[in-house]
Amino acid sequence: MKDICNIAKQINLATDDLILYGENIAKIKYNNFDQVNRKGKLILVTSINPTKSGEGKTTSAIGIADKLNNLGHQTILALREPSLGPVLGLKGSATGGGECVLLPENEINLHFTGDFHAITSANNLVSAMIDNFLYWDNPLQIDINKIVWQRCLDLNDRALREVEINIKKNLVHKEKFQITAASEIMAILSLSKNLADLRQRLDQTIVAYNINNEPIYIKELKITGSLLALLKDAILPNLVQTKYETPALIHCGPFANISHGTNSIIATELGLKLSDYVVCEAGFGSDLGFEKFNDIVNFHQEFTPDCTVLVVTIKALKLNGDLPEEKLDTLDLASLAKGLTHLEHHINIIRNYHLNFLVCINQFATDLPVEIEFLTHWLEKNKIEYGINNTYYLGIKDQPDLANKIIKLANQPQHYTPIIDFNHTLINEKIDIICQKIYATNNIEYRPEALAKIKHYNTSEFKHFPVCMAKNHQTIWGNADRHDNKVIIRDIKLNSGAQYFIVYLSKIITLPGLNKNPNAFVIDVQDNTIINIK
């Protein structure tokens, strides 16, 4: 690895702009660049619905950024920080793979610069203060049955999904933990523009309701200053590098299935000021992270993508064409053909916003030439721009065709069109539009609890907020059956600090559990170095 100060010099950062965390990691004093005008263009990477092992959005984003830099285009990568839950559970890593990796890999995957710990601590301080007010005779008249704030933990621990908080004798309430990546503090931090915006968002965050059913805000807990003290370094974006020395801003980590799924807007904005191109990733498929990027992150149309990259794999196309998981490495053109309908659905999602895009075929070693030819023939027949990505294996030695096409598209005009007029639509209308234009279904069922809350919020000062759909990521509609297009709106929650409503579909959970053979089994330390013993 290069010394991080040398990586910083590539994007005109001085040592005084950095807070060093050793030789390979630094935080950036982003407010040093408040007066700098943007010069960069934004490339957003999304995908179709993935296999269990993913589509390779992260590796593709890293590979694209590396290749752009290799071709002489000053490029910064902007990605989310990993959550410990998936790293120690099923995922194992969130820093890429093959030739497309972030460095230092182990440090980024584990404690990194402590941002997740700061967010967890801030979140749980709010909970502790709510319970402390209740203990000391409840001067805010908190209704113990209407506490909406949840504790969080950055681990997969299903035992904490339902807990009982014993404050003192005859003062008990039920609570649900959620994973830190799904917490409102995470969402607030990643959507804040600066420390002043963070303060305002924290102040206006509703944590509970009083006995008169009036909202109680964080500002009434009188702890906003303490929360800012815990978060003052976490708000600074982190600078690391890829294997090929591309500068990478790794900051914040909201999940895309239960939150909005993109790195901080501070990191994205800073990248656009310091480089010609910024490559970002929106989590999971275009039905999740991409939609939320456009409807939440780009709510004020400040971060409209100049080029959208839709990552597809032969494996995922066959999976979405009904081929069983265990047979994805086998030749099956029938399932591949069925999977093209799924690909077309995701293409239409992007077209809804009238954005420049191309399909990125992320090639695996198991892909057969006849399968690649089958897919490219369909794309050419339908006049869909595409490129083939082999950076996982070849790194910057990959062919420049994909990168050159991305540059060409990013510099062409487009006519971005939001799918929702948020100021003139009710909450249920926003949900209906997403179901119709993103999920392509009118088969929507609202559960009574969701309907009651929507009716209440439609008359509130928050009714103009966007909605964040929380659903399973493996299918368009969040159902186990890939052909079941019914969308069940189970519940809705107001995140007044993050400034959006979370809409819970079907059986989505906000605190994952560990799988039978979690990655925690195979991590060890030898000679003071973290290793994977698989």
Q: How confident is the model at residue 534 (pLDDT cuts 50, 70, 90)?
A: low
Q: Are residues 246 and 303 in the same domain?
A: yes
pLDDT at 360 over 90: yes
How far are the Cα atoms of 210, 291, 420, 477 from residue 304, in angstroms, in the given order?
Answer: 40, 12, 15, 25
Cα–Cα nearest to 428, from 403, 391, 453: 453
pTM score of the predicted model: 0.96
Q: Are residues 277 and 401 in the same domain?
A: yes
Q: Do the domain assignments include residue 136?
A: yes
The rounded distance, in Å, linking the Cα atoms of 189 and 33 is 19
Q: Do the domain assignments include residue 274?
A: yes
The rounded distance, in Å, linking the Cα atoms of 60 and 48 is 13
Pair 319, 82: CB distance under 8 Å: no
Q: Are residues 285 and 330 in the same domain?
A: yes
CATH of the domain at 474: 3.10.410.10
The rounded distance, in Å, linking the Cα atoms of 43 and 309 is 7
The rounded distance, in Å, linking the Cα atoms of 401 and 363 is 14
The pLDDT tens digits of the residues spanning 450-501 come to 999 999 999 999 999 999 999 999 999 999 899 999 999 999 999 999 999 9
The rounded distance, in Å, linking the Cα atoms of 489 and 234 is 34
Q: Are residues 93 and 179 in the same domain?
A: no
The pLDDT tens digits of the residues spanning 76-106 come to 999 999 999 999 998 878 899 999 999 999 9
Report the sign of the C-alpha dihedral through residues 137, 140, 141, 142, in that order: negative
Q: Are residues 268 and 181 in the same domain?
A: no
Q: Are residues 220 and 243 in the same domain?
A: no
Q: Are residues 119 and 256 in the same domain?
A: no
The rounded distance, in Å, linking the Cα atoms of 389 and 358 is 12
Mean pLDDT score across all residues of the chain:
96
Q: How confident is the model at residue 530 (pLDDT cuts 50, 70, 90)?
A: confident
Q: Are residues 266 and 347 in the same domain?
A: yes
Query: Which residue segment(s) compose the domain that 93 sits in?
Result: 32-77+89-97+239-389+397-411
Q: Are residues 218 and 243 in the same domain?
A: no
- Specify the pLDDT at position 53: 79
| Of the residues 204, 231, 258, the one at which a domain ends | 231
What's the number of domains the chain is made of?
A: 3
Query: What percent of the chain is modeled with pLDDT above 70?
Result: 100
Q: Do the domain assignments include residue 3?
A: no
Q: Are residues 185 and 225 in the same domain?
A: yes
Q: Do the domain assignments include residue 524?
A: no
